[in-house]
């Protein structure tokens, strides 16, 4: 940005002040492209780019936390109604699309979507009901703790 402002100060656009926004946008874009070409970044990202599980070191404490989270989720799933548990298992464990679940169960896709939503809400309710107020966890339930598990 600084380089673009210096260019604007040294040689403003001929059309005057109304042209500044478009001139600035074009100049900043071109300067960014030039900087990227100058840095000669590699063309492809590594295969494990963005894989959070691989990027986090698996320490004994991290493994224990993951095991506790899995146990917590399993207990909450066990308390769910079998129909709701089935919907979640088909979607998450079997990696089935809404259409595949609908075909498997013989119901419309909209029904699958609503049942899956109710199942997720029920699971969140079960996970929230097992919240231990004595622990030092925040008072609001955080589903992101269990996403990796």
DSSP secondary structure string for all residues of 85-102: HHHHHHHHTS---HHHHH
Does residue 108 have a pLDDT over 90? yes
User: Could you tell me if residue 48 is inside a domain?
Assistant: no
User: Could you tell me if residue 25 is inside a domain?
Assistant: yes
* pTM, to two decimals: 0.50
Stretch 50-78: mean pLDDT, rounded? 78
Q: Are residues 79 and 13 in the same domain?
A: no
pLDDT tier for residue 125 given thresholds of 50, 70 and 90: confident
Higher pLDDT, 97 or 52: 97
- Can you tell me the distance from the alpha carbon of 106 to that of 88, in angstroms, rounded to the nearest whole number? 16
Higher pLDDT, 45 or 15: 15
Range of the domain at 128: 59-147
Q: Summarize pLDDT for 66-106 with one digit per residue, the tens.
A: 888 888 888 888 898 988 988 888 988 888 999 999 999 89
Q: Are residues 9 and 71 in the same domain?
A: no
Q: Are residues 139 and 81 in the same domain?
A: yes
The structural domain count of the chain equals 2
User: Could you tell me if residue 133 is inside a domain?
Assistant: yes
104 Cα distance to chain centroid: 28
Does residue 110 have a pLDDT over 90? yes
Stretch 111-139: mean pLDDT, rounded? 74
Distances (CA, A) of 25 to 5, 21, 93: 11, 6, 47
User: Could you tell me if residue 88 is inside a domain?
Assistant: yes
Q: H or E segment at 141?
A: none
15: DSSP letter: T
Residue pair 135/72 in contact by the 8 Å Cβ criterion: no
Average pLDDT value for the chain = 77
pLDDT tier for residue 138 given thresholds of 50, 70 and 90: very low
Q: Are residues 105 and 141 in the same domain?
A: yes
b/e string for 99-138 if b means 16 or more Cβ within 10 A? eebbeeeeeeeeebeebbeebbebbeebbeeeeeeeeeee
């Amino acid at each position: 940005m600084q380089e673009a402002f210096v260019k604007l100060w040294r040689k403003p656009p001929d059309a005057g002040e109304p042209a500044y926004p478009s001139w600035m946008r074009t100049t900043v874009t071109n300067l960014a492209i030039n900087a990227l070409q100058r840095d000669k970044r590699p063309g492809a990202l590594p295969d494990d780019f963005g894989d959070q599980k691989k990027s986090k070191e698996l320490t004994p404490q991290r493994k224990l936390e993951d095991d506790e989270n899995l146990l917590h989720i399993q207990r909450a799933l066990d308390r769910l109604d079998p129909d709701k548990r089935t919907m979640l298992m088909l979607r998450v464990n079997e990696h089935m699309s809404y259409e595949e679940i609908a075909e498997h169960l013989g119901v419309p896709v909209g029904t699958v979507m609503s049942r899956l939503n109710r199942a997720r809400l029920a699971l969140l309710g079960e996970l929230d009901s097992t919240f231990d107020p004595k622990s030092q966890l925040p008072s609001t339930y955080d589903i992101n703790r269990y996403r990796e598990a």
